[in-house]
Amino acid sequence: MTDIDDLVQRVAVRAAADNEDLPTPAGDARIAQAEAQLGFALHPLLARLYREVADGGFGPEYRLLPLIGPDRPDAGVVGEYLTRREASVAVAHPEWPAGVVPVLTWGCAMYAGVDCLSEDGQVLLFEPNAYGGGSWEQCWFLDSAGLAEWLETWLAGTGWFEEDACERDDVAEPEPWEQAGQRLSAGV
Protein backbone atom coordinates (compact mmCIF):
# COMPACT_ATOMS: atom_id res chain seq x y z
CA MET A 1 0.00 0.00 0.00
CA THR A 2 1.38 3.35 -1.03
CA ASP A 3 1.48 6.17 1.48
CA ILE A 4 -0.17 8.87 -0.64
CA ASP A 5 1.25 11.77 1.39
CA ASP A 6 4.76 10.38 0.93
CA LEU A 7 4.13 9.74 -2.77
CA VAL A 8 2.94 13.31 -3.40
CA GLN A 9 6.01 14.63 -1.57
CA ARG A 10 8.38 12.45 -3.64
CA VAL A 11 6.65 13.56 -6.85
CA ALA A 12 7.05 17.21 -5.78
CA VAL A 13 10.76 16.72 -5.11
CA ARG A 14 11.31 15.00 -8.47
CA ALA A 15 9.21 17.60 -10.31
CA ALA A 16 11.25 20.46 -8.82
CA ALA A 17 14.52 18.68 -9.64
CA ASP A 18 13.47 18.05 -13.25
CA ASN A 19 12.15 21.53 -14.00
CA GLU A 20 13.38 24.80 -12.54
CA ASP A 21 10.46 26.64 -14.20
CA LEU A 22 7.75 24.46 -12.73
CA PRO A 23 4.31 26.08 -12.95
CA THR A 24 2.71 27.15 -9.69
CA PRO A 25 0.18 24.70 -8.30
CA ALA A 26 -3.46 25.08 -9.27
CA GLY A 27 -5.48 26.49 -6.41
CA ASP A 28 -8.76 25.13 -5.09
CA ALA A 29 -10.71 27.62 -7.22
CA ARG A 30 -8.97 26.48 -10.41
CA ILE A 31 -9.60 22.82 -9.58
CA ALA A 32 -13.27 23.59 -8.84
CA GLN A 33 -13.50 25.46 -12.16
CA ALA A 34 -11.98 22.48 -14.00
CA GLU A 35 -14.33 20.01 -12.32
CA ALA A 36 -17.34 22.20 -13.12
CA GLN A 37 -16.33 22.30 -16.79
CA LEU A 38 -15.67 18.55 -16.85
CA GLY A 39 -18.93 17.71 -15.09
CA PHE A 40 -17.27 15.30 -12.64
CA ALA A 41 -14.59 15.33 -9.95
CA LEU A 42 -10.97 14.69 -10.76
CA HIS A 43 -9.54 11.54 -9.21
CA PRO A 44 -8.46 12.62 -5.68
CA LEU A 45 -4.76 11.86 -6.24
CA LEU A 46 -4.77 13.71 -9.55
CA ALA A 47 -6.37 16.73 -7.87
CA ARG A 48 -3.69 16.63 -5.16
CA LEU A 49 -0.93 16.60 -7.77
CA TYR A 50 -2.35 19.72 -9.42
CA ARG A 51 -3.04 21.37 -6.06
CA GLU A 52 0.22 20.49 -4.26
CA VAL A 53 2.90 19.87 -6.91
CA ALA A 54 2.25 22.05 -9.97
CA ASP A 55 -0.27 22.88 -12.67
CA GLY A 56 1.33 20.37 -15.03
CA GLY A 57 4.89 20.49 -16.33
CA PHE A 58 6.14 17.37 -14.52
CA GLY A 59 6.06 13.63 -15.03
CA PRO A 60 7.29 11.26 -17.71
CA GLU A 61 8.54 12.38 -21.11
CA TYR A 62 6.35 15.25 -22.31
CA ARG A 63 5.06 15.97 -18.80
CA LEU A 64 1.55 16.51 -17.50
CA LEU A 65 -0.65 19.02 -19.28
CA PRO A 66 -1.84 22.08 -17.41
CA LEU A 67 -5.30 21.65 -15.93
CA ILE A 68 -6.78 24.49 -17.99
CA GLY A 69 -4.80 25.77 -20.96
CA PRO A 70 -3.40 29.20 -20.10
CA ASP A 71 -3.51 30.55 -23.65
CA ARG A 72 -6.23 28.53 -25.40
CA PRO A 73 -9.50 27.22 -23.93
CA ASP A 74 -9.18 24.01 -25.97
CA ALA A 75 -5.76 23.19 -24.47
CA GLY A 76 -4.89 21.49 -21.21
CA VAL A 77 -6.64 18.60 -19.50
CA VAL A 78 -10.10 20.18 -19.58
CA GLY A 79 -9.93 21.47 -23.15
CA GLU A 80 -8.53 18.21 -24.54
CA TYR A 81 -11.19 16.19 -22.71
CA LEU A 82 -14.09 18.39 -23.83
CA THR A 83 -12.88 18.38 -27.44
CA ARG A 84 -12.50 14.61 -27.52
CA ARG A 85 -15.82 13.98 -25.78
CA GLU A 86 -17.65 16.35 -28.11
CA ALA A 87 -16.33 14.36 -31.07
CA SER A 88 -17.53 11.14 -29.37
CA VAL A 89 -21.15 12.12 -28.74
CA ALA A 90 -23.87 10.83 -31.05
CA VAL A 91 -21.49 8.97 -33.37
CA ALA A 92 -21.55 5.29 -34.29
CA HIS A 93 -18.04 4.71 -32.98
CA PRO A 94 -17.12 6.99 -30.06
CA GLU A 95 -13.41 7.58 -29.63
CA TRP A 96 -13.16 8.84 -26.04
CA PRO A 97 -14.96 7.46 -22.95
CA ALA A 98 -16.60 9.70 -20.39
CA GLY A 99 -14.60 10.29 -17.23
CA VAL A 100 -11.15 9.65 -18.74
CA VAL A 101 -9.11 12.85 -18.70
CA PRO A 102 -6.07 13.15 -20.96
CA VAL A 103 -3.20 14.20 -18.71
CA LEU A 104 -0.16 13.77 -20.93
CA THR A 105 0.59 13.51 -24.62
CA TRP A 106 3.15 10.95 -25.73
CA GLY A 107 3.34 12.46 -29.22
CA CYS A 108 1.95 10.96 -32.44
CA ALA A 109 -1.61 11.64 -31.11
CA MET A 110 -1.08 9.22 -28.20
CA TYR A 111 -2.27 10.18 -24.70
CA ALA A 112 -2.04 8.99 -21.13
CA GLY A 113 -5.43 9.37 -19.48
CA VAL A 114 -6.64 8.98 -15.91
CA ASP A 115 -9.98 7.27 -15.43
CA CYS A 116 -11.58 9.54 -12.85
CA LEU A 117 -14.51 7.12 -12.56
CA SER A 118 -12.33 4.25 -11.31
CA GLU A 119 -11.48 3.98 -7.64
CA ASP A 120 -7.72 3.74 -8.16
CA GLY A 121 -7.58 6.16 -11.08
CA GLN A 122 -6.53 3.69 -13.74
CA VAL A 123 -4.00 5.15 -16.15
CA LEU A 124 -4.87 4.37 -19.74
CA LEU A 125 -2.95 4.68 -22.98
CA PHE A 126 -4.85 5.92 -26.02
CA GLU A 127 -2.92 4.82 -29.11
CA PRO A 128 -4.97 5.89 -32.16
CA ASN A 129 -2.33 4.65 -34.57
CA ALA A 130 -3.77 1.16 -33.93
CA TYR A 131 -7.14 2.26 -35.36
CA GLY A 132 -8.26 0.04 -38.19
CA GLY A 133 -11.75 1.43 -38.74
CA GLY A 134 -14.93 0.70 -36.83
CA SER A 135 -14.61 0.64 -33.07
CA TRP A 136 -11.87 2.56 -31.28
CA GLU A 137 -11.76 -0.21 -28.67
CA GLN A 138 -8.45 -1.58 -29.97
CA CYS A 139 -6.82 1.80 -29.37
CA TRP A 140 -7.21 1.71 -25.58
CA PHE A 141 -4.69 0.06 -23.26
CA LEU A 142 -4.38 -0.27 -19.50
CA ASP A 143 -1.04 1.31 -18.66
CA SER A 144 -1.40 0.99 -14.88
CA ALA A 145 -4.09 -0.24 -12.50
CA GLY A 146 -3.84 3.02 -10.59
CA LEU A 147 -2.36 6.50 -10.70
CA ALA A 148 -0.26 5.88 -7.58
CA GLU A 149 1.31 2.80 -9.19
CA TRP A 150 1.96 4.73 -12.43
CA LEU A 151 3.70 7.51 -10.50
CA GLU A 152 5.83 4.96 -8.63
CA THR A 153 6.90 3.50 -11.99
CA TRP A 154 7.90 6.94 -13.22
CA LEU A 155 9.81 7.74 -10.01
CA ALA A 156 11.65 4.41 -10.23
CA GLY A 157 12.46 4.85 -13.92
CA THR A 158 10.92 1.48 -14.79
CA GLY A 159 8.06 2.43 -17.14
CA TRP A 160 7.65 1.21 -20.72
CA PHE A 161 8.15 4.83 -21.77
CA GLU A 162 11.72 5.04 -20.43
CA GLU A 163 14.45 5.38 -23.04
CA ASP A 164 16.12 2.10 -22.09
CA ALA A 165 12.88 0.10 -21.68
CA CYS A 166 13.44 -2.02 -24.79
CA GLU A 167 16.74 -3.23 -23.32
CA ARG A 168 15.17 -4.56 -20.11
CA ASP A 169 13.17 -7.75 -19.53
CA ASP A 170 11.24 -6.48 -16.49
CA VAL A 171 9.19 -3.76 -18.20
CA ALA A 172 5.42 -4.22 -18.11
CA GLU A 173 3.86 -3.26 -21.43
CA PRO A 174 0.35 -1.76 -21.51
CA GLU A 175 -2.32 -4.42 -22.02
CA PRO A 176 -5.60 -4.00 -23.92
CA TRP A 177 -8.15 -2.23 -21.70
CA GLU A 178 -10.87 -4.82 -21.16
CA GLN A 179 -13.50 -2.19 -20.34
CA ALA A 180 -12.88 -0.14 -23.50
CA GLY A 181 -15.74 -1.54 -25.59
CA GLN A 182 -18.26 -1.27 -22.77
CA ARG A 183 -17.19 2.24 -21.72
CA LEU A 184 -17.10 3.55 -25.29
CA SER A 185 -20.50 2.14 -26.23
CA ALA A 186 -22.13 3.15 -22.94
CA GLY A 187 -20.86 6.70 -23.08
CA VAL A 188 -19.67 6.21 -19.51
The arithmetic mean of pLDDT across residues 113-132, rounded, is: 94
pLDDT at 188 over 70: no
Q: What is the pLDDT of residue 168?
A: 67
Which CATH number does the domain housing residue 99 bear? 3.40.1580.10
The arithmetic mean of pLDDT across residues 145-162, rounded, is: 92
Q: What is the pLDDT of residue 1?
A: 54
pLDDT at 14 over 70: yes
Q: What is the pLDDT of residue 89?
A: 84
Domain count, the chain: 1
The pTM of the whole model exceeds 0.85:
yes
For 62-73, what is each residue's pLDDT tens digit?
899 999 987 776
Q: Assign 3-class secondary structure to the chain.
A: CCCHHHHHHHHHHHHHHHCCCCCCCCCHHHHHHHHHHHCCCCCHHHHHHHHHHCCCCCCCCCCCCCCCCCCCCCCHHHHHHHHHHHCCCCCCCCCCCCCEEEEEEEECCEEEEEECCCCCCCEEEECHHHCCCCCCHHHEEEEECCHHHHHHHHHHCCCCCCCCHHHCCCCCCCEECCCHHHHHHHCC
